[in-house]
Copies of this chain bind each other. A is one copy, B any other.
Amino acid sequence: MSEQPRRNFTSDNVTGAAPEMLAALAAANVGQAPGYGNDAYSKRLTERAREVFECDLAILPVTTGTAANALALSLLAPPYGAIYCHETAHVMTDECGAPEFYSGGAKLLCLAGAGGKLVPADIEASMALIASMGVHHVQPSAVTLSQATEWGTVYSLDELDAIASSARALKLAVHMDGARFANALVRLGCTPAEATWKRGIDVLSLGATKNGALAAEAVVLFKPALEGELAFRRKRSGHLWSKMRFQSAQLLAYFEGDLWIRHARTANALAERLAAGLVAAGGTLVAKVEANELFIVLPDAQIAALRADGYEFYDWPAPRGTTGSVIRLVTAYDMVAADVEALVSAASRHATR
């Protein structure tokens, strides 16, 4: 686009849409189509998602990740229920109470855990205590985990197995917030099926917006019997598009030719490169860089100098036990190596010796 390397590393949502997305909208725009998901694109989307995930499922597009998460959780917890989440989970801190709104007041129970990951033993200990409280305590009915996590790490398949098997024993459903699911998938190097329902995930919030769409997320139900209820809840919350073909077309384009995987591969690789460069320039990573986000401690002077150069990124609250100023940097599907190299060079220039 421009000759200038990009300086905005605040988030992957500052990106526009991939050209494939605009082309898909234009193609879907031809002619008339029944509203509310009764169009050919929406039907094809279900078929396509079944192929991609190799199982029976229902997939219902919505506009935002917040909507996807809140709708998903409202299926899994009654109003007097509770949902375990990590204390840094997006549902806990960044959705203005959407899960409470959609569920009719269910409670999110926060747990700690290194690298943004839930620990099965913590869930079990909490459940044991709550079981002793009977009718006085909200009833845990689900676990939600972010994959990739809010600290840019990725649960391994074994870690997912451990959580899901613990959850199953405790009769808890498992939801995955996959706002950056494609980035996690690339890291894991496995199939979508292996990363989800084969691990015991019941419902997935599948993100596409951060990874190339205009505005397309989806709730993927690996228990398709939940579809009827979800359809009513989606309509009731105002998330059923009348011209649904424009959402389905985006998600079809997302899967087409593995666009989602190619995009995520680019972003992940750039994040690794950036991390290595910044560590070399004196930074200390706060968490492993396994997707497209990095959290790193840099000297305040270096941070200020980068900002003076025009670089944009967020300060981030330090995790327990970390000292120094933490910043978050996010790479995106539409960046190129030169963008990252330029930032690394600048950081090296500003490194305190």
Report chain B residues within 8 Å CB of A11. 35, 242
For residue A100, which residue of chain B has the nearest CB? Answer: B105
For residue A10, which residue of chain B has the nearest CB? Answer: B34
Interface stretch (choices A22-30, A168-176, A263-271, A299-307): A22-30
CB of A32 within 8 A of CB of B14, answer yes
Cβ-neighbour of A17 out of B8, B29, B34 (below 8 A): B29
CB of B63 within 8 A of CB of A63, answer yes
Closest-CB distance, A330 to chain B (whole angstroms): 11
Report chain B residues within 8 Å CB of A247. 215
CB of B66 within 8 A of CB of A235, answer yes
A147 to B342, CA, bound (A): 55
In the complex where A80-B233, A96-B135, A96-B138 touch, is A63 in contact with B33 (Cβ < 8 A)? no
Report chain B residues within 8 Å CB of A25. 17, 22, 25, 214
Closest-CB distance, A5 to chain B (whole angstroms): 12
Cβ-neighbour of A138 out of B8, B32, B33, B97 (below 8 A): B97
CB of B240 within 8 A of CB of A135, answer yes
CB of A64 within 8 A of CB of B232, answer no
Report chain B residues within 8 Å CB of A100. 100, 105-107
A64 to B35, CA, bound (A): 12
In A297-338, the 8 Å CB interface with B consists of 317
CB of B16 within 8 A of CB of A33, answer yes
CB of B64 within 8 A of CB of A79, answer no
